[in-house]
Amino acid sequence: MTEIKQRIEGLRDSLNAHNHAYYVLNAPTISDREFDMMMKELEALEREYPEFDDPYSPTHRVGSDLTKGFTQARHIYPMLSLANTYSVSEVDDWVGRVVDGLGGEMPVLVGEMKFDGTSISLIYEHGRLVRAVTRGDGEVGDVVTDNVLTIKSIPLQLRGDDIPERFEIRGEIVLPWKAFDRLNLEREQAGEPLFANPRNAASGTLKMQNSAEVARRGLDAVFYYLIGDNLPCDNHYDNMMVARRWGFKVSDTMTLLHSIAEVDEYITHWDTARRELPMATDGLVFKVNSLRMQRNLGFTAKSPRWAIAYKFAAERALTRLEFVSFEVGRTGVITPVANLDPVLLSGTIVKRASLHNADIIERLDIHDHDMVYVEKGGEIIPKITGVDTAARKADAMPVRFVKTCPACGATLERDPGEAAWFCPNKWGCRPQQIGRIEHYVGRRMMNIDGIGDETARLLVENRMIADVADLYNLRAEQIARLPGFAIKSAERVVDGIRASTEVPFERVIYALSIPYVGETVSKKIARAVKNMDTLRAMTAEQLEAIEDVGPRIAEAIINFFSAEKNREIVDRLASAGVKMAVDVSVDSPIGDALAGKSIVISGTFNHHSRDEYKAMIEAHGGKNVGAISKKTDFILAGANMGPSKLEKAGKLGIPIIDEDTFLAMLDNH
Ligand code: IVH
């Protein structure tokens, strides 16, 4: 009995973790199929042992894609999911159940693609799109109308004279392969993490706060479900053909099927033909065509009885594991990589596959030189999903996760509740050092031209730089000594480094390699906190008040600044002239109130940070200087001005002005 309880709890924990990875992080750690298998096992156990049921079990909830920052709307008809099957015989069984449910009559079925994107519900009134809502938790979703308006294939105004006054249409927002490949290429060049598959890219894009960027990425939408009281026809297929006439994209793979044989043939055909389609699919959907029959069959708690999904098997190959290598990333996380005997898998030769983390190695129980199954299930990076234990040599040793960093030898650590092991030697571990520099110079970060991955490595290995702040001390003659450089190209690199001091503050935050702080979060932080001094001093609670910042990000920021070394690097960047505050001139008018004045800032302030005052002085034509001299016009003084400064100011007769007076000076001018 306790064993069963343990199994139930183990399954719940894993499913919760996978749900989080899938819905919140957009980075699934297992295939849909494995997920479904675990969910089915848990459902069965809970049914059999109701005494262990728990209202918080993952079986009682559908995942949610609700995001802070969007308003929410309740679906008029809940957005259910479909029951999944993985074999032709399971589909045939479903047809059998439908026939039974209809009193022995074989209904006309519709076969269609299961497009792999993110589902959307569109509401039209008087032929116009009025609202677009994501699936959310099935009951309530995010209103993403602004972003959906940018999708060119979605009609905003319908054509035709038979359009119901009000109706809802559902479909899938997808990122076609071409757009997906282009987006990932851009991200690769910018040193940003790649999207694992078009589904994550589509849902991530749809949830962006910047609709111009959404428009640029090239989303598309295909529709498969018309709902409402006054639909034009009494069957699904004809309704979809009418919707196509109104202006919606309806896939022409949609086909009427009249027998089990035709269903099986449809599966056989599309199992391979789907690879020719311009967008990702993860299966097929079969639906009863007649709306009257659909009503008769009805719904279970989670899904309609009149429809079923057939999921394609991920393409799989069997090959030999040569060895496992352990690779260190920019943030110190160790990724185990299976190096394989090269094998052909859906058109490409696979030599390496991710083993994700120590837990997965353990779960697979992988041994040296095992024959392993490699899968490419919609994901671009192939993964090892199983081991052929029958082919194992008797004396093969299990693969052990390393205990020390393969690059620097430090003892690895892992945070409670996290799967990833990381090397704590942030400052002495080469791949981390190099990785952070590569990131810092990236196009979307400080945009320093001429330093690619190889140059970053050479600079570190030749001890010319150890961290990003050292870049600003590099001289052209030093760079010119590196292979591939001449004095001219080295000078260009130095110019590029100098030009990076003009890069806006939000990108400086992003460039620092604070774990989990990506491009969007950096922008939100910059807008909310305005300058680095404030950011450095913030508590978790204050940080979490910023849009898109949760406990994990808040903790990462606090950890980052609690390291002496990071604070020192940031200080050195500031001295080098890198922007440590948003440009004040952007939100306050530029004036000449302080033209030609030399001003010293001293002490701590209430209304603005020192960086902001510095920017204000400059925006109004003044000059902020460090030390008090005869030439100083006045001192902008906050609380706790140092005694030596006070004394010096007194001696030289330099006026001391508090912040209220200072702000009034600017206002009055
Ligand atoms: S019908 C009540 N048809 O699959 C049934 N869904 O697991 C409504 N999907 O949330 C769904 N292609 O995001 C339907 N041709 C298709 C589909 C499809 C993809 C997605 C959709 C839905 C999920 C169901």
pTM above 0.75, yes or no: no
**Helix H or strand E encompassing 183:** helix 177-189
Structure token digits, residue 200: 């994550």
Give me the pLDDT at residue 63, please: 43
Residue type, 561: F
Give me the pLDDT at residue 190, please: 74
- Count of C-beta atoms within a 10 Å radius of residue 657: 16
| pLDDT band, residue 585 (cuts 50/70/90) | low
Model confidence pLDDT, tens digit, residues 19-31? 666 654 556 778 8
Expressed in angstroms and rounded, the spacing between residue 9 Cα and the centre of ligand 1 is 30
Q: Specify whether 114 is catalytic.
A: yes
Bridge partners of 604, per DSSP, are 639
Which of 76, 172, 284, when mutated, tests ligand 1's pocket best, judged by the most ligand atoms within 8 Å of its CB? Answer: 172
Which protein residue has the closest C-alpha to ligand 1 atom 3? 224
Expressed in angstroms and rounded, the spacing between residue 114 Cα and the centre of ligand 1 is 6
Nearest ligand 1 atom to alpha carbon 114? 12
Which of 65, 86, 115, when mutated, tests ligand 1's pocket best, judged by the most ligand atoms within 8 Å of its CB? Answer: 115
Which residue is catalytic, options 68, 114, 152, 207? Answer: 114
Expressed in angstroms and rounded, the spacing between residue 100 Cα and the centre of ligand 1 is 24
Highest mean pLDDT among 158-167, 193-202, 531-540: 531-540
Which protein residue has the closest C-alpha to ligand 1 atom 9? 114
| pLDDT band, residue 193 (cuts 50/70/90) | confident
Between residues 450 and 78, which one has the greater pLDDT? 78
Residues 87 and 233: their CA atoms lie apart, in Å, by 32
| pLDDT band, residue 53 (cuts 50/70/90) | confident
Give me the pLDDT at residue 587, please: 46
Expressed in angstroms and rounded, the spacing between residue 242 Cα and the centre of ligand 1 is 19
Structure token digits, residue 357: 């983390």
Structure token digits, residue 126: 């008087």
| pLDDT band, residue 488 (cuts 50/70/90) | very high
Residue 130 DSSP class: E
| CA 149 centroid distance within chain | 22
Residues 36 and 237: their CA atoms lie apart, in Å, by 29
Model confidence pLDDT, tens digit, residues 216-271? 899 999 999 999 888 999 999 999 999 999 999 999 999 999 999 999 999 999 99
Q: Looking at the predicted structure, is the pLDDT value of residue 575 above 70?
A: yes
Q: Looking at the predicted structure, is the pLDDT value of residue 12 above 70?
A: yes
Structure token digits, residue 136: 């959310």
Closest CA to 109 of 252, 263, 230: 263
Which protein residue has the closest C-alpha to ligand 1 atom 22? 81
Handedness of CA 595, 600, 605, 610 (dihedral sign): positive
Give me the pLDDT at residue 451, please: 87
Residues 457 and 463: their CA atoms lie apart, in Å, by 10
Model confidence pLDDT, tens digit, residues 561-573? 999 999 999 999 9
Between residues 411 and 360, which one has the greater pLDDT? 411
Query: Ligand 1 in contact with 172 (CB < 6 A)?
Result: yes
Query: Ligand 1 in contact with 134 (CB < 6 A)?
Result: no
Alpha helices in 20-110 (DSSP H): 32-48, 88-101
| pLDDT band, residue 449 (cuts 50/70/90) | confident
Which of 82, 270, 306, when mutated, tests ligand 1's pocket best, judged by the most ligand atoms within 8 Å of its CB? Answer: 82
Residues 67 and 659: their CA atoms lie apart, in Å, by 39
Residues 173 and 134: their CA atoms lie apart, in Å, by 10
Query: Ligand 1 in contact with 114 (CB < 6 A)?
Result: yes
| pLDDT band, residue 378 (cuts 50/70/90) | low
Q: Looking at the predicted structure, is the pLDDT value of residue 60 above 70?
A: no
Please state whether beta strands 334-345 and 598-602 pair in parallel, antiparallel, or not at all (unpaired): unpaired
Between residues 596 and 328, which one has the greater pLDDT? 328
Least confident of 56-65, 112-121, 325-334, 357-366: 56-65
Highest mean pLDDT among 220-224, 379-383, 607-611: 220-224
DSSP result, 334-383:
EEEEEEEEEEEETTEEEEEEE--SHHHHHHHT-BTT-EEEEEESS-SS-E
Which protein residue has the closest C-alpha to ligand 1 atom 24? 81
| pLDDT band, residue 586 (cuts 50/70/90) | very low
Model confidence pLDDT, tens digit, residues 61-105? 544 455 546 888 999 999 999 999 999 999 999 999 999 999 999
- Are 101 and 93 contacting, i.e. CB atoms less than 8 angstroms apart? no
Q: Looking at the predicted structure, is the pLDDT value of residue 427 above 50?
A: yes
